[in-house]
Structure 1
């Protein structure tokens, strides 16, 4: 669901009953606890909750139609889960056309079970996709370390380092050859 460009435009009719849109987005926010597939678009919708337009309400209804069409998707917790923490991270450079900020997306699996995920707009503007990826990896590394501390506190100590996966080729080149980039 690609709504960020369409939702960032303020060219739409202001809703006469904005309370309905606020309730809809609030309920969708509650659903993101068990349906991580909608967390990005619901995050986009929640940015416009103070002054929603008709396109925002229609996008919220579209999310409901998606949920109705695929009710079996959600989180699955396996019975025989191994305590191996694995993280996946990605960043979309300059996703928001109005602010030119990037979006960080990451998730962590404990064995085969999704335990943590997030889609967040970066607080600063990145000058390149590599810089956006580095910021995303930094954020996910901190989250992974927090999860390791949480597991230790829950007496399920994670003895091996957690794995972190990302997919940016320029970042791999910079990591392999520090002369490749002036930073």
Structure 2
């Protein structure tokens, strides 16, 4: 009987060790749009558990235009994004699935980079999770070791999805 309990506990620990919940000590989260967009981003919600503010975004595809900082969160497996395109007058809501295992592995293997402006060598392990939106509804998610155009920058696409056009909420609820 004791042998079965020990084996059961061992199997349970093995399963828990292979969980898809990857804790991140600290991370920057960037919100980006294709260049020359005029998007008002309202919701950026990860795993229905934590979110980051966004606001007006008009550039910086893959480069984390609006940055927020989070710590002590689980690396996400999905993101829900809602935005209003001011030029086309369309409201979109969509979800992107994120390969959180690939993102977590990327973080563990991150390399240093060099700031082009200052020439400074940066060896910090601060990942940048970037959520990008295009006017056609495409949502992309990347993980990077640096926010923009730095020497030694690494970037990996870890998620994608598509937003659907939704009816705007009534004026008094906006």
Q: Which category describes the TM-score, using the shorter chain as reference length? A: under 0.3
Q: Which has the higher helix share?
A: 1
Using the size of structure 2 for normalisation, the TM-score is: 0.21
Higher relative contact order (CA 8 A, sep 6+): 2
